[in-house]
Amino acid sequence: MVQDTTLEHDIYLFHEGNLRYSHRLLGAHPDTRNGEKGIRFTVWAPHAVQVSVVGMFNDWDGRENPMEKINDNGIWIAFIPGLEKGTIYKYEILTAHGHLQLKADPYAISSELRPDTASVVYPLDNYSWGDDEWMKQRKAKNPYESPMSIYELHLGSWKNIEPEVFYNYRDYADMVIPYVKDLGYTHIELLPLTEHPFDRSWGYQATGYYSVTSRYGTPDDFKYFVDQCHKYGIGVILDWVPGHFCKDAHGLRRFDGEALYEYANPSKAEKTQWGTLTFDFARNEVQSFLISNAIYWLKEYHLDGLRVDAVASMLYLDFGKEDGDWELNEYGGRENLEAVSFIKKMNEAIFEETPDVLMMAEESTSWPLVSAPTYIGGLGFNYKWNMGWMNDMLKYMEMDPVHRKYHHNLITFSLFYAFSENFVLPISHDEVVHGKKSLLNKMPGDYWQKFANLRAFLAYMYAHPGKKLMFMGGEFGQFDEWKDLEDLDWELLDYDSHASILDYTKQLHQLYQDMPALWELDHKEEGFMWIDANNYEQSIISFVRNSRTSNDQLVVVCNFTPEVYHDYRVGVPKHGSYKEIFSSDAEHFGGSGQTNGLPLESVPSPWQGQDQHITMTIPPLGVSFLKRTSVSKEENHEK
């Protein structure tokens, strides 16, 4: 019988699905009993007949340290004196079927380096953080009206010592952070760092949800990485995968001999296309496990946000399944009502505990109100990846320019829904791997045109409403698709074209940071106005980006063909002098130099729905950013 009332209350909340810090109850924690220091082990295994803690300390003999079952709902506890940080352990579980199985701790803070699979005792209270100023500023910041440009990063293939041999988190901090800071990114997004057995799953098929992967070091090493990011003014977002987990024998699958973390119904449990299992979102203890896990990463590691992977796979019962392999919900629909309820509950809990973080959904369907609060019927995220924009734009950019006029809607359609969610525009790892080609190599044309297309695409991306995300390698024009077992082709920077793209990325970020019109009203309709969306014959579009201050207004003109147009008229909303402040076709970026060096004076003659127009040169495969710098001669004369 449990005597500690706090422990009793935590156990009650855990079984109710409302324990938000269940990692403090379960797992391995330093403790003192009767004056002796040791480790308290706690595990949930309701179907088990017997559970023991085993490790080198007892020669992996389950008879030495049996656990006590302290309630009818399957909480087991053992205190083992003399154990300390670094102890390697597993749980030996005798199932109701008479089988003995060894399982890693679902709440382990650290794990052995693969291929070994045991858990490691690792107290979390030894790191001294130095990011107080960052955390204070984060609370006061409005992310919706701030620049956000995210560098998506897979540590092991950004740079490694040799294939499958990696640097430490601290080494990566010293290499990655100055590079990302110099380029002007505001955030780093890391592919999942939860412990996973197979390198090539990239962390998306995990076994240790509370364990930062030991491939790159210890939990304190990773804290150092985050701490240093914050020191340099860079936020850290972690990919997080609450939808499914891998089937490896030491992991969560049939943890106590029965379906426990996964659905018991195979039609709901099996993710056949990935060979994984779906969490049972209806089970209270699983809710405590997952909600606590999200809060754990945000709180313990000072992360600035989570990007939630494969949300659509959680929302739909038929996701990735053939007819007959799934069952309708109680109302005859295909929505997983339990997952919907869980997602809302999860986001409510996260924003109550950490109100200033980012919760980003990778949701690939048209599910409504993904980034809206739950109290108005939303899922409760504050951002959604704009997969529609990504698919349309990549399809368009891969076309030979001669065909683009027949698919003009691909570059304009996104503006019909751009303000229905708080969007991030993502060019992620999924788009540059497994035969999809790199971003640069998707571009058609000869060598020069590939780079020109890439520059134009990036410029349009940064001019389009929504926050930005780019996978590593895109910033310098990686030619090969992402090779997850090798590091990036850094030697390309010895070539002028690639060095120029890197400089272009840096200068584009500088423009982005300096111009509130490119981010201040990202999620509001008044932040965007078409000038001409319909010139499909020449594949030219033009539009205005607005900020809260009218003087910061930008005119953007994009040409997606290799033709140059001189004396091209563009409608402008106000009369005055317009200066081209940025051109993707500038010679120092590797362009052809068809720029507008002199101020462009507006003419008080209506054009394209505007009261004024200017006449300019439109560069080939180029994007021009124009800013009104002074009133027109006519306006001065009137004054």
User: What does the pLDDT look like over 411-430, one tens digit per residue?
Assistant: 999 999 999 999 999 999 99
pLDDT of residue 282: 98
Spatial distance between the Cα atoms of 374 and 372, rounded to a whole number of angstroms: 7
Mean pLDDT of 200-208: 96
Q: Domain 5-120, what fold?
A: Immunoglobulin-like (2.60.40)
Q: Would you state the pLDDT for residue 632?
A: 47
For residue 67, the 8-state DSSP code is P
Note if 352 is an active site residue. Answer: no
> What CATH number was assigned to the domain covering residues 390-428+446-470+498-639?
2.60.40.1180
Can you tell me the distance from the alpha carbon of 486 to that of 565, in angstroms, rounded to the nearest whole number? 43
Instruction: Give per-residue pLDDT as tens, 391-402.
Output: 999 999 999 999
Catalytic member of 309, 475, 580, 585: 309
Q: What is the b/e burial string over 23-39, where b = at least 16 CB atoms within 10 angstroms of the residue's CB?
A: bebbbbbeeeeeeeebb
Question: Taking a C-beta distance cutoff of 8 angstroms, is the pair 434, 395 a contact?
Answer: no
What does the pLDDT read at residue 634? 53
> H-type helices in 141-282, by residue range?
155-158, 169-183, 219-231, 266-269
When pLDDT is cut at 50, 70 and 90, the band that residue 4 belongs to is confident
Intervals of CATH 2.60.40.10 along the chain: 5-120
| Mean pLDDT calculated for residue range 81-91 | 98
The 3-state DSSP composition of the chain as helix, strand, coil percent (nearest 5) reads: 35, 25, 40
How does residue 639 score in pLDDT terms, banded at 50, 70 and 90? very low
Q: What's the pLDDT at 551?
A: 73
Task: Report, in angstroms and rounded to the nearest whole number, the Rg of the chain calculated over CA atoms.
Answer: 27
Of the CA atoms within 13 Å of residue 157, those in its CB half-sphere come to 24
Residue 381: name the closest of 226, 203, 240, 516 by CA.
Answer: 240
**What would the pLDDT profile of 614-625 be if each residue is shown by its tens digit?**
999 999 999 999
Residues sharing a CB contact under 8 Å with residue 273, sequence separation 6 or more, in sequence order: 320
Strand order in the sheet with 244-245: 244-245, 276-278, 270-271
- State what percent of residues in the chain have pLDDT above 90: 95
CB 123 within 8 A of CB 256: no
Name the pLDDT band for 205 (thresholds 50, 70, 90): very high
Residue 517 has pLDDT above 50, yes or no: yes
- Cα–Cα distances in Å, from 4 out to 70, 80, 266, 505, 632? 12, 18, 39, 58, 78
| pLDDT number for residue 549 | 82
Confidence band of 631 (pLDDT split at 50, 70, 90): low
Annotation says 421 is catalytic: no
Q: How far is CA 338 from the centre of its chain?
A: 24
The reported pLDDT for the residue numbered 635 is: 52
Q: How confident is the model at residue 569 (pLDDT cuts 50, 70, 90)?
A: very high
pLDDT tens per residue across span 253-308: 999 999 999 999 999 999 999 999 999 999 999 999 999 999 999 999 999 999 99
CA distance 217 to 227: 15
Give the per-residue pLDDT at 3: 54
Contact 14, 288 (CB under 8 A): yes
* Catalytic residue from among 152, 195, 300, 362: 362
Give the model confidence (pLDDT) of 363-383 as tens digits: 999 999 999 999 999 999 999
On average, the pLDDT of the chain sits at 96
Enumerate the CATH 2.60.40.1180 domain ranges in the chain, comma separated: 390-428+446-470+498-639
Please give the model's pTM, rounded to 2 decimal places.
0.96
Token pair for 429: 């790892």
Query: What is the pLDDT at residue 633?
Result: 54
Tens digits of per-residue pLDDT, 21-64? 999 999 999 999 999 999 999 999 999 999 999 999 999 999 99
Q: What is the 3-state secondary structure (H, E, C) of 268-314?
A: HHEECCCCEEEECCCCHHHHHHHHHHHHHHHHHCCCCEEEECCHHHH
Q: What residues are paired with 572 via a beta bridge?
A: 612
When pLDDT is averaged across residues 534-541 and rounded to a whole number, the result is 98
